[in-house]
């Protein structure tokens, strides 16, 4: 595999961009080596500057449900581009997007468009604080909700990959408002609430919100148990706490109505990203009308963005969500493809007498290099990250491009063919076998 042009570009990049990349996980730090520079994506494939072709399972970290560069999204973008890229004023398409999302996700009564998942989650927390008049919130160890200060406390994704569970620049004040619970452990939530009540002279909790990835994708794919989420919903009801589902990754990815459809649980607020922009930068947060009406200009909780709801992102997103609405069979197809890949990989591991954990929900999956289960943060982080790094490169040289980090998800699109999946299964067998010989 030739990498001369990528290596040359990376040497140039590190002179002008911190670490040579504009998002940490791209840097290959946790797997070794230097990143490849991509020139094109089409269907299930990506191509780098050296002309290498890869079957790819990142899909821009989830939004490419229909593969790279789908014709119907490209057509929508070209049409929107003819009319202008941004107005900083309302457009009809923003209204149509809001109506469509509320139709597809019943818990959404009102919604605000933003520009990223991080904007969505930090705005949801601020709104919950404004609505309840309380300041603290609970997050779960290993869940990643973007890079706002108060989220970077034992976070997942790149922060976990790089071994930075907290970050310089995050103040003690911000950290003090963030309460940490254990994923899939309801007793840890009850304990935090009890401790918080005991610390207050009034005996009431000052916890505004609980935010959770109902299907974690940023410590690798880890599904919350139905019982855990049901009890979490009940506790939030009893304690006047806003329950926020972070579905930036899972929204419209694991099901038409997101993870909340799978669990049949209605959160108070939901955050979105990824797919609702059809691959363009976008985010959103929404939920109960009485909570969302706290957001400016209808209420006192300030949130704004010049490019929020910009016509290009709305056009791509509306095309993607309309396709989902008109073709519900998309999720049956994704399940069939994903199950086929899962079964193939599990058969490989069985043949090679390896007992690594393979977690999958819908078209999201992670192969953890850990013996036994990976059902929470503590078990997931026992994964052998050095071994994953070797596995990543073994797959790469066989034409398979995976996430350059153990604690991320792999995504299947409708464009992955049986030939792609068979090639991936074969490469997986050869890669794991090669690791046992080293």
The burial of 87, by beta-carbon neighbours within 10 Å (0-12 exposed, 13-18 middle, 19 or more buried), is given as exposed
Name every residue whose Cβ is closer than 8 Å to that of residue 37 and which is 6 or more positions away in sequence. Answer: 5, 6, 9, 10, 48, 49
Interatomic CA distance for residues 294 and 317, integer angstroms: 26
* Helix, strand, or coil (residue 426): helix
Strands 136-140 and 178-181: parallel
Interatomic CA distance for residues 240 and 244, integer angstroms: 13
* Helix, strand, or coil (residue 26): helix
Question: CA of 352: how far to CAs of 163, 223, 365, in Å?
Answer: 30, 26, 20
User: Does residue 323 carry a catalytic annotation?
Assistant: no
Before 348, cis peptide (omega within 30)? no
The burial of 103, by beta-carbon neighbours within 10 Å (0-12 exposed, 13-18 middle, 19 or more buried), is given as exposed
Residue with tokens 């006047």: 240
Of 29, 139, 274, 337, catalytic: 274
User: Does residue 340 carry a catalytic annotation?
Assistant: no
Half-sphere exposure of 213 (CA within 13 A, CB side): 31
Of 57, 131, 144, 183, catalytic: 144
Using only the alpha carbons of the chain, give its radius of gyration: 21
User: Does residue 422 carry a catalytic annotation?
Assistant: no
Judged by phi (left if over 0) then psi (alpha if -120 to 50, else beta), residue 88 lies in left
Could you give the maximum distance between any two Cα atoms of the chain, in Å?
66
Of 246, 268, 356, 401, catalytic: 246
Interatomic CA distance for residues 152 and 180, integer angstroms: 11
Sign of CA dihedral 156, 160, 166, 170: negative
Known catalytic residues are 144, 246, 274
């Amino acid at each position: 595999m030739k990498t001369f042009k990528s290596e040359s570009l990376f040497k140039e990049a590190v002179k002008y961009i911190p670490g040579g990349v504009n998002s940490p996980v791209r840097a290959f730090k946790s797997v070794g080596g230097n990143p490849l520079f991509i020139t094109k994506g089409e269907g299930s494939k990506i191509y780098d500057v050296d002309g290498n072709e890869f079957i790819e399972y990142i899909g821009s970290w989830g939004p490419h449900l229909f593969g790279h560069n789908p014709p119907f999204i490209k057509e929508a973008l070209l049409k929107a581009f003819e009319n202008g890229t941004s107005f900083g004023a309302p457009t009809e398409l923003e209204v149509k997007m809001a109506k469509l999302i509320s139709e597809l996700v019943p818990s959404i009564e009102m919604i605000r468009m933003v520009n990223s998942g991080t904007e969505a989650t930090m705005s949801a927390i601020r709104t919950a604080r404004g609505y309840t008049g309380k300041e603290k919130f609970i997050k779960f160890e290993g869940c990643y909700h973007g890079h706002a200060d108060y989220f970077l406390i034992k976070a997942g994704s790149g922060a976990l990959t790089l071994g930075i569970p907290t970050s310089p620049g995050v103040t003690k004040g911000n950290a003090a408002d963030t309460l940490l619970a254990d994923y899939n452990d309801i007793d840890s939530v009850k304990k935090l609430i009890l401790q918080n009540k005991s610390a207050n002279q009034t005996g009431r909790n000052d916890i505004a919100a609980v935010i959770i990835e109902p299907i974690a994708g940023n410590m690798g794919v880890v599904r919350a148990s139905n019982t855990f989420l049901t009890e979490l919903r009940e506790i939030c009801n009893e304690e006047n706490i806003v329950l926020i589902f972070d579905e930036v990754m899972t929204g419209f990815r694991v099901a038409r109505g997101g993870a909340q459809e799978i669990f049949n649980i209605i959160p108070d607020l939901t955050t979105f990203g990824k797919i609702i922009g059809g691959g363009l930068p976008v985010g959103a947060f929404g939920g109960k009308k009485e909570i969302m009406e706290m957001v400016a200009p209808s209420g006192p909780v300030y949130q704004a963005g010049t490019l929020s709801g910009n016509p290009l992102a709305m056009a791509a997103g509306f095309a993607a969500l309309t396709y989902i609405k008109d073709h519900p069979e998309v999720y049956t197809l994704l399940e069939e493809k994903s199950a086929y890949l899962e079964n193939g990989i599990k058969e490989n591991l069985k043949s090679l007498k390896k007992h690594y954990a393979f977690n999958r929900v819908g078209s999201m999956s992670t192969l953890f290099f850990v013996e036994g289960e990976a059902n929470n943060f503590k078990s997931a982080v026992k994964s052998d990250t050095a071994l994953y790094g070797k596995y990543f490169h073994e797959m790469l040289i066989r034409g398979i491009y995976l996430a350059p980090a153990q604690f991320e998800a792999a995504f299947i699109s409708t464009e992955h063919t049986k030939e792609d999946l068979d090639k991936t299964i074969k490469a997986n067998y050869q890669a794991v076998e090669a690791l046992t010989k080293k």
